[in-house]
A and B are shown apart, each in its own frame.
Chain A
């Protein structure tokens, strides 16, 4: 089983739609979680950090479910500019600085 698993997509949604991605992780002791955004042929950029029960930043909401070992990312009112690959990233507790990256979920927002 992979340490971090994501549905690769693509998720193809119309502008204005709400879309949600899930990510599961295998290490139950993991402490820190992040969502990164990666545009085609560019570097990943930090979108949100996810702590305790989750957090919200504008149209983006991240949730953490420790019991089921998954985190989610909800995007409301999708924009064309949201089209990208979203990477789920986990910090295993046994290595305080190393991050484990999921393979990413691709989102396409159409006009």
Chain B
């Protein structure tokens, strides 16, 4: 069974640009969550999607958005990039509520 797949693995963007990251969950998993990890802040919850609906949202500005498609694949978008957005972005999938989350390998975003 394939795990969680995130693309791309690495990205370098310039301030002011926008970026789209992709996540394919484990087959059969319908919930996808996104996290930002930085050395200073640790793993911060961005949002969670289930059946194409955002059910939970963390404390991030509106520049961070996401969506989920009917096949459970998810994308997150960051607009008007800032230097502080440089981080490892992790996607996790869960089978159903209250169950374990399994992470992808992450996308390392560098904003210059």
Task: Say if A and B assemble together.
Answer: no
B contact residues vs A (CB 8 Å cutoff): none
A contact residues vs B (CB 8 Å cutoff): none
